């Protein structure tokens, strides 16, 4: 029993885009063909350095994110997966996802994804309205998304996520609902519905940040209506909300993302990728920093509370040797009284009201 391999998730970062979106603060930038080739070769070398570490683990999920990973050509992508499978033991039923953007996917690339064992696509759509896509700085139209989605289905992909974004400048509640209904009509297995955040250092911050054209952004009330309309519509269409911003048809919850929220160990490979192993965190190229028990408890709560099922009292005690009530009794009592959380049975979770102010609630769990 002592020799059993532990579960591990792999995250592989591809920091390239055709064009940076107006709202994006992720680590990504345009690139030349030569830069992409050099980076892909570097990734393969990095992956192969983990041979010794890999002996203690079996890989349960892989997520290739970015940037726009679908910007890589098929040989580069297949080379990366050859390096992964040469180095790590990958479960036969591992969930393997790649992020793709319309306008960067071809039949040839999709065939390569299947050959590499990729069984889940995450397509960045954001909006079904071309004017909104243009405003966001996306490189594609809604029609190009439909073409990519249709091609993926033809090629046999049976697990597709679509990313959507609400609270876009000049967007109305009705316009957001039209986007939702168009996408729901396609029946993707998973929908990630995020609200636009105006991040510093982006063109959107220059235009819509403090003192900017804030009047073009939906009001707080409109944003809340979009939020709850999303939950209601997706529920009506048979999607289960399993995390604050994520919805899935039964059985299609993203296992990789659940791993993050459950603090499953994960290894990030590539520029800027983050890792969590042996209760140590680090970004690629930096020295690991050990987490104190206090920090582990905090993460357990504020990551786990993103899930609709909440956090397990039994799992907390098993992990830390102390009861949740002993550590957080005062905070939990306050949240229950305010109607922001509920805690009957084994799980403690946010209420509907608590989800509305989730960031504030989660801050309460910093010790």
Using CA atoms, how far apart are residues 249 and 53, in angstroms rounded to an integer? 35
The two structure tokens encoding residue 5: 């391999």
- The DSSP code for 219 is P
- The DSSP code for 5 is P
| CB environment 231-269: b (16+ within 10 A), e (fewer) | bebbeebebebbbbbbbbbeebbbbbbbbbbebbbbbbb
Using CA atoms, how far apart are residues 86 and 84, in angstroms rounded to an integer? 6
Q: Which residue has 């409109």 as its token pair?
A: 222
pTM (2 d.p.): 0.93
Using CA atoms, how far apart are residues 158 and 52, in angstroms rounded to an integer? 34
Using CA atoms, how far apart are residues 65 and 135, in angstroms rounded to an integer? 23
User: Residues 6 or more apart from 132 whose CB is under 8 A from it?
Assistant: 126, 168, 170, 171, 175
Class of domain 6-260: alpha beta
Burial class (CB in 10 A: 0-12, 13-18, 19+), 118: buried
Using CA atoms, how far apart are residues 329 and 325, in angstroms rounded to an integer? 4
Using CA atoms, how far apart are residues 271 and 12, in angstroms rounded to an integer? 9
Using CA atoms, how far apart are residues 115 and 214, in angstroms rounded to an integer? 47
pLDDT at 195: 83
Say how many C-beta atoms besides its own lie within 10 A of residue 34's C-beta.
8
Q: CA torsion, points 167, 221, 178, 135, in degrees to nearest 10?
A: -20
User: Residues 6 or more apart from 106 whose CB is under 8 A from it?
Assistant: none
CA-closest candidate to residue 248, choices 193, 172, 328, 178? 193
Using CA atoms, how far apart are residues 33 and 134, in angstroms rounded to an integer? 25
Using CA atoms, how far apart are residues 74 and 50, in angstroms rounded to an integer? 24
- Domain ranges in the chain are 6-260, 292-367
pLDDT at 136: 81
pLDDT at 99: 97
Sign of CA dihedral 138, 141, 145, 151: negative
Q: Rounded to the nearest 5°, which phi and psi values hold at 308?
A: -65, -30
pLDDT at 182: 98
Parallel, antiparallel, or unpaired for β 160-166 and 190-195?
A: parallel
Q: How far is CA 364 from CA 201, 352, 359, 361, in A?
A: 28, 17, 9, 5
Query: CA-based Rg of the chain, rounded to a whole angstrom?
Result: 21
Contact 44, 96 (CB under 8 A): no
Burial class (CB in 10 A: 0-12, 13-18, 19+), 200: exposed
Mean pLDDT by 10 residues, the chain (367 residues): 82 82 60 92 97 97 94 97 98 98 94 98 95 84 96 98 91 94 98 79 62 72 90 97 97 97 97 95 94 97 96 97 96 97 94 92 94
pLDDT at 34: 94
pLDDT at 1: 44
The two structure tokens encoding residue 61: 């999920």
Contact 84, 47 (CB under 8 A): yes
pLDDT at 159: 98
Q: Which H/E stretch holds residue 93?
A: strand 90-100
Contact 176, 166 (CB under 8 A): yes
Instruction: For domain 292-367, give the fold.
Output: Arc Repressor Mutant, subunit A (1.10.10)
Contact 47, 80 (CB under 8 A): yes
């Amino acid at each position: 029993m002592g020799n059993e391999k532990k579960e591990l998730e792999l995250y592989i970062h591809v920091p390239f885009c055709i064009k940076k979106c107006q709202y994006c603060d992720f680590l990504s930038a345009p690139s030349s063909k030569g830069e992409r080739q050099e980076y892909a070769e570097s990734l393969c070398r990095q992956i192969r350095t983990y041979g010794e570490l890999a002996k203690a683990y079996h890989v349960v999920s892989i997520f290739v994110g970015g940037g726009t990973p679908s910007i890589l050509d098929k040989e580069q992508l297949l080379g990366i997966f050859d390096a992964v499978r040469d180095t790590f033991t990958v479960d036969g039923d591992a969930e393997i996802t790649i992020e793709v953007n319309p306008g960067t996917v071809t039949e040839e690339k999709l065939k390569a994804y299947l050959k590499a064992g990729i069984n889940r696509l995450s397509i960045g759509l954001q909006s079904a309205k071309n004017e909104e896509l243009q405003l966001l700085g996306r490189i594609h139209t809604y029609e190009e998304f439909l073409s990519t989605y249709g091609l993926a289905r033809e090629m046999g992909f049976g697990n597709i996520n679509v990313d959507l974004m609400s609270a876009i400048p000049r967007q109305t509640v009705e316009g957001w609902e039209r986007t939702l209904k168009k996408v729901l009509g396609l029946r993707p297995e998973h929908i990630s519905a995020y609200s636009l955040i105006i991040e510093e250092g982006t063109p959107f911050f220059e235009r819509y940040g403090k003192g900017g054209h804030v009047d073009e952004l939906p009001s707080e009330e409109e944003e809340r209506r979009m939020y709850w309309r999303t939950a209601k519509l997706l529920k009506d269409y048979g999607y289960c909300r399993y995390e604050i911003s994520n919805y899935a048809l039964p059985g299609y919850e993203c296992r990789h993302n659940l791993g993050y929220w459950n603090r499953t160990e994960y290894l990030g490979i590539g520029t800027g990728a983050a890792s969590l192993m042996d209760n140590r965190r680090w970004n690629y190229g930096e020295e690991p920093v050990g987490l104190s028990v206090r920090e582990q408890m905090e993460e357990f709560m504020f990551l786990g509370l993103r899930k609709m099922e909440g956090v397990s009292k039994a799992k907390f005690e098993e992990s830390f040797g102390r009861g949740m009530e002993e550590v957080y009794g005062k905070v939990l009592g306050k949240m229950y009284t305010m109607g922001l959380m509920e805690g009957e049975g084994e799980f403690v979770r946010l209420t509907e009201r608590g989800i509305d102010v989730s960031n504030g609630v989660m801050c309460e769990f910093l010790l």
